[in-house]
């Protein structure tokens, strides 16, 4: 959302897509989620490349008078394969509930889109020792009535809201970068919950880390057992910062497989 002009979004997307031509993406998927005004243009620019497209949000109705929302069919028409749902900003700034996010997850799956379900606790919730409680509740309610087979098309992204440098998310709270140990603790808890709920399929669900992953810390984070990728923010806005993270993911994936 820091990129306002469509031509700038298209340029960056083209640069990333062209760079991916020289990288073997075995067991690694890469998607970008531009703003809605650039979604179709970016989709056309990267069509046929290894770079995939995602929406930043989606409403759970096919059509109707829902001013300001975007439908799943509109995302698909733009070329989207993924859609980000329950992002920390949607939850914490716009007040989206787990029940609403659950409806979106169900609709995305119905339409053939792959939901990237975001969960995570705020600074105050972490201070209060509610990391597990908050994430368990978000998982349980956002994934209500989702069958194990459907989980194969879902990605979970853990966002430690307390580590994200956004004053609208963390007013009057000191921002502290999450340590690998803190990230691993949360991801291990999420993995355990998924396995207890969905059995062996729970081990196959990709878990992304969304706490300011960047070239300087991606190797350490992606090397952790239950971190399978990143939901990248600012570092995705330039080829110079995004490609090292992709290359790190590819390298670690080759070692693991």
> Bridge-partner residues for 52, per DSSP?
31
The secondary structure of residue 225, as a DSSP letter, is T
Please provide the DSSP assignment of 151-213 as one string. Answer: GGG-EEEE--GGGS--TTTSTT----PPPHHHHHHHHHHHHHHHHHHHGGGGGTS-EEE-S--
**Catalytic residue list contains 87:** yes
Options 81, 87, 140, 204, the catalytic residue: 87
Options 89, 96, 121, 159, the catalytic residue: 159
As given in the structure block, the two tokens for residue 7 are 């031509």
Please provide the DSSP assignment of 56-92 as one string. Answer: S---S-SSSS-TT---HHHHHHHT-SEEEES-HHHHH
Contact at 8 Å (CB) between 211 and 189? no
**Catalytic residue list contains 159:** yes
Known catalytic residues?
87, 159
């Amino acid at each position: 959302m820091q990129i306002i002009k469509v031509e700038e979004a298209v340029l960056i997307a083209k640069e990333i897509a062209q760079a991916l031509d020289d990288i073997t993406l075995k067991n690694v998927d890469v998607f970008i989620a531009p703003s809605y005004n650039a979604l179709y243009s970016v989709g056309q620019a990267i069509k046929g490349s290894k770079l995939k497209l995602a929406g930043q949000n989606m409403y759970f109705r096919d059509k109707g008078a829902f001013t300001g929302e975007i439908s799943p069919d509109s995302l698909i028409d733009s070329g989207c394969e993924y859609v980000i749902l329950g992002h920390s900003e949607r939850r914490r700034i716009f007040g989206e509930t787990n029940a609403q996010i659950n409806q979106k997850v169900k609709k995305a799956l119905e339409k053939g889109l792959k939901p990237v379900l975001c969960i995570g606790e705020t600074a105050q919730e972490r201070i209060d020792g509610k990391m597990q409680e908050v994430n368990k509740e978000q998982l349980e309610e956002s994934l209500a009535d989702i069958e194990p087979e459907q989980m194969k098309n879902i990605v979970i992204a853990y966002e430690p809201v307390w580590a994200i440098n956004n004053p609208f998310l963390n007013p009057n709270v000191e921002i502290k970068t999450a340590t690998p140990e803190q990230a691993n603790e949360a991801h291990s808890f999420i993995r355990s919950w998924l396995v207890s709920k969905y059995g062996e399929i729970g081990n196959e669900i990709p878990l992304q880390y969304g706490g300011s992953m960047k070239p300087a810390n991606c190797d350490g984070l992606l090397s952790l057992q239950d971190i399978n990728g990143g939901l990248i923010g600012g570092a995705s806005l330039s080829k110079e910062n995004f490609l090292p993270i992709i290359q790190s993911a590819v390298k670690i994936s080759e070692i693991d497989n």
